[in-house]
Every structure is written in C-alpha cells, then in structure tokens.
Amino acid sequence: MKLGDVTVALTALLLPVLGAQAQAYSPLSKDISYCFRMLSNGGVKVDNGCYVQLLLSATKQKGNKVFEQVCWLPVGEDPERNSLEASLKLLSQGDSADFTMPAKILLSSLTGYPRVEGVTGSETLHVGVRVLRVVERDIILDDAYEKFCEDYQRYERRLIVQYIRKRSGFKAAGDIWKKQEKPGNGKKASKAGSSMNIAYEGFFLNGVKFDSNGKSGQPFRYVRGQQWQVIQGLALALAGMSEGEKATFIFPSTLAFGVKGLADIVRPFSPVVYEVEVLNVVDK
C-alpha cells in the first residue's frame, strides 16, 4: 500500500468515526463496544499468536484526534477479553470497524509507540480500525518469515526516529542511540570479571516504566563478560560507560527482547529506553 493510498483510506476511516455516537454499537466486553464498518468476506482471520498491521485512529468524544497511524500489533496466545487485541479477533484482513473503549485499554496496546499526548486513561475514545494485513503464527515455518522480520524492523526504526525527533541530544552509535546526561571520570570495567554497580530504569517509547533496580533499593552489580545478566544492548552500552556517568539509551528490539518479547511484560519487536547511571567500578 502506497502512502497516498494510506491517506485516502485513513480519511475514509476517520469520517465514520467522528459520527460514531449516532451508530448502533454492540457490547463486546465490560468496557468495549463495537460496530462493523466493512467486512471483506474471506480475508485471513485475526487469531491468537498472529501479527496484525492496522490503520488505527482514535478520537475523543468531541471529535478531537489523539492518535492516527499505520501500526503493527501482536495478538498474544491468550489476550485478555477486555483488550484491543481480543477485539481484533472479530475481524479479518480487509475488515474495518469502530470501537468505543477507555483510553487506558488502547494505550496499553501501544507500548511500543511514542507517548500519546492529551488523553487520560479514564476517557472514552472512539477507535477506528482497518485490518491491512494479518501474518499468521505459522509463518515462522515459511520462507517469508525472514522478510517479515526485516519489514517489521524497518518499521521499528521509523518509530525510534519519530521518538528522537521530539528530543535533543541523542547520537547514534551503531544500532544504539545514546544521550549523555552526565560525564564520568573515565574509569571503566575494562576487563572480563571487572564489575560495576549501576542504577537503571527501563521504559517503552510511550513512557511506561517496565523495569527498574529501584524495586530492591539496591544497586545492580553487573560483571563484565558474564552472560545473561542484561539484554545485549545494555551490555554493549555499559562497556563504554565510566564511573559516575549517567546516560539514556534507546535499544531496538534486536538488542533488547527480540521477536519473542518477555512474557506479558514486553511485547515482541519492542524498542526500549534505558536510563543508566554507573555508581562505581571495581576493576579486577
């Protein structure tokens, strides 16, 4: 689908959404109601474990737009009934529908996207959905899986660029973006077995925190060369940091939690942001 086609389709999608209050909606779950707009009759059905490319828009009840984007969402193996992902299971490729739901339900599905401004979790939103593409879970057995991952990662990079454009100070170092908040004294954990005590917090692009050593109240001890302590991106970042340094990093999913994500905490293909401070270094 070309950009022009997306624009035309999005315009067609938004028009009925703005008049959504006049339509007959059916209840789907505790907080979600729906109204079909167009059914393709025969497209690939959205089901558990698949990836869905959507033309997605959201407006407040008075018609103010809060979100509008072509995006990818993974549908888990057992999505919660009161969720956008479960709602998508009503649809097939080519279908479109309108939903009403609290903003918190939509925002919980957009953890991999830059922050949605000007909306609170309790507000009711009209959400317009058109299913552009459904990638079934069995694609992992198909030759097309590698191309799908490449396409998804290019899309992910665009999300990171969109995030960085709203912020200053980030510089690229390979696939990692870094913003130095405070310089260090130059002392690094330069040898295998050297350690550093760090404080860190992990966020999605929308600002939601998902990881922190603050829960324990103790610094996290990272040992250089010891595997499986941290995600690959953080290990690479720490190798270049020195005692006293504080920095913010953006890691693509390939250097974070990858195509599988992390249980119910991190979705597949999620870029992440880490704020890191090296408290002290103990050289071996």
- Low-confidence residues of the chain: pLDDT under 70: 1-23, 137-144, 214-217, 284
| Residues shown for the chain | 284
Fold exhibited by the domain 170-282: Chitinase A; domain 3 (3.10.50)
pLDDT at 137: 66
Helix/strand number for the chain, H first, E second: 5, 13
Mapped onto helix, strand or coil, the DSSP state of residue 244 is coil
pTM here is 0.69
pLDDT at 41: 78
Report the half-sphere exposure of 239 (CA within 13 A, side-chain side). 14
In the chain, where are the structural domains located? Answer: 3-142, 170-282
pLDDT at 139: 62
Domain 3-142 CATH class label: alpha beta
pLDDT at 23: 60
pLDDT at 216: 59
Task: Return the structure tokens found at 116.
Answer: 């949605």
pLDDT at 142: 62
